[in-house]
């Protein structure tokens, strides 16, 4: 049995989740060379996003599984990375994480000590690591165990 195209699998999953949650929303799926992005449009999408983004992250994980990402078809290239968003949530969250990272870096330098951020998902920690990588005066590392794993920003040499 042939696996559906990633965009079809993502659209089907999102339609099912929206229906199961009883949301009045629509789905848009955009496919480019590297990414298949499923976006849910509507109002009152807090239930879809979930507390601290837990639901949208879980849906994204499911979408990656049903779309068969990171696998290679016998006759084709690797499948695209899957991203699930709802009315700009991912961008708003990224902006907030960048602000927190900048504040933590400033505090680490000002007080010459490591600063721990709140617990966050692996993808959010990766985003902050990458964001602060080019800031030469600080280093970042993760500590703790899931679900309380968090990022630490420290002055270089501390």
What tens digit of pLDDT does each residue of 55-70 get?
999 999 999 999 875 4
Q: Say if residues 148 and 119 touch (Cβ distance below 8 Å).
A: yes
Distance of CA 108 to the CA centre of its chain: 25
What are the structural domains of the chain? 6-87 (3.30.300.20), 92-155 (3.30.1370.50)
The pTM for the full model equals 0.79
For 21-47, the DSSP string reads HT--EEEEEEE-SSEEEEEEEES--HH
Considering Cα of 43, then 48, then 53, then 59, what sign does the dihedral take? Answer: negative
Q: What is the pLDDT of residues 19-54, one digit of tens each?
A: 999 999 999 999 988 899 999 999 999 999 998 888
């Amino acid at each position: 049995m042939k696996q559906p195209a990633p965009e079809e699998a993502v659209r089907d999953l999102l339609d099912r989740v929206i229906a199961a949650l009883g949301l009045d929303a629509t789905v848009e799926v955009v496919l480019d060379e590297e990414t298949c992005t499923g976006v849910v449009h509507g109002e009152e999408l807090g239930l879809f996003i979930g507390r601290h983004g837990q639901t949208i992250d879980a849906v994204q994980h499911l979408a990656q599984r049903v779309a068969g990402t990171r696998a290679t078809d016998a006759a084709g290239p690797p499948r695209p990375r899957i991203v699930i968003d709802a009315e700009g949530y991912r961008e708003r969250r990224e902006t907030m994480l960048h602000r927190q990272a900048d504040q933590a870096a400033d505090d680490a330098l000002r007080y010459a000590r490591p600063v721990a951020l709140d617990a966050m998902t692996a993808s959010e920690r990766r985003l902050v690591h990458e964001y602060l990588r080019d800031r030469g005066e600080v280093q970042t590392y993760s500590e703790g165990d899931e679900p309380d794993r968090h990022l630490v920003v420290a002055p270089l040499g501390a």
